[in-house]
Amino acid sequence: MIVTRITLRGMHSVGAGDGSEFFFTLQSRCHSIPYQANLGTQKNCKVMVEKIHGLVHIQLLNTPVIRGDTRIMFFTDSRKIPKGYEKSPFFFWFHTGFIVDGKLELSRSELDNPHKSKTWHVFQEDFGVTVQLEEDAMTRTY
């Protein structure tokens, strides 16, 4: 599978609200070097912000094929955004075998670190992540 887009929801209370403070890694067990993208510089991604709705849409570019257990981990240098385990504001794991209709939606309570009440002043109740994926020729055979 290939991750095509990540949407961050509830961003109105997170930093500048446009995601520019974040960079992230995407790593799957089928490749040893993690994919990296930077929202501020738009390295390996294009960012579209719907600030009035608190949405940040990240279109991934040059995305590797992922298979099996996969982790997406967001980072920031901002002191205004709380970081928890692994010095990350939020991250999550998923297995590509459980993806239905090319979409994974996670609420704040399903994300590592924002589920903790001490971060709720930044990651409010409507915070969440939607990941959109597509099949690729390689994974269709599995």
What pLDDT does 31 receive? 75
What pLDDT does 140 receive? 55
Mean pLDDT of the chain: 94
Q: Do 31 and 1 touch, CB atoms closer than 8 A? A: no
CA-based end-to-end distance of the chain: 11
Give the domain extent around 50.
2-140
Task: Tell me, yes or no, if the pTM score tops 0.95.
Answer: no
Q: Report the number of distinct structural domains present in the chain.
A: 1
What are the residue ranges in the chain where pLDDT is below 70?
138-142
What pLDDT does 48 receive? 99
Instruction: Determine the length of the chain.
Output: 142
